[in-house]
Amino acid sequence: MEQLEAKVDELIELCAILGRENRALRAQQQNWSAERAKLIEKNELAKSRVESMITRLKTLEQD
């Protein structure tokens, strides 16, 4: 019976550890998702600026 209780206690502790790890990983995933969204936005802005510069250069070239 004592062995069973010890195993149950181990499982309870393991569940608690895994729960904490899971929450930490989910928080990390949210942070990475937010960072990815910011990087995509910055990339789109840079792309737009470069395209605008190319258009202006082509216009100047034609003059």
Q: In degrees rounded to 5, what are phi and psi of residue 10?
A: -60, -45
Residues 23 and 14: their CA atoms lie apart, in Å, by 14
Tell me the domain boundaries of the chain. 35-63
Q: What is the pLDDT of residues 14-49, one digit of tens each?
A: 999 999 999 999 999 999 999 999 999 999 999 999
3-state secondary structure string across the chain: CHHHHHHHHHHHHHHHHHHHHHHHHHHHHHHHHHHHHHHHHHHHHHHHHHHHHHHHHHHHHHC
Q: What is the pLDDT of residue 63?
A: 72
Residues 63 and 8: their CA atoms lie apart, in Å, by 82
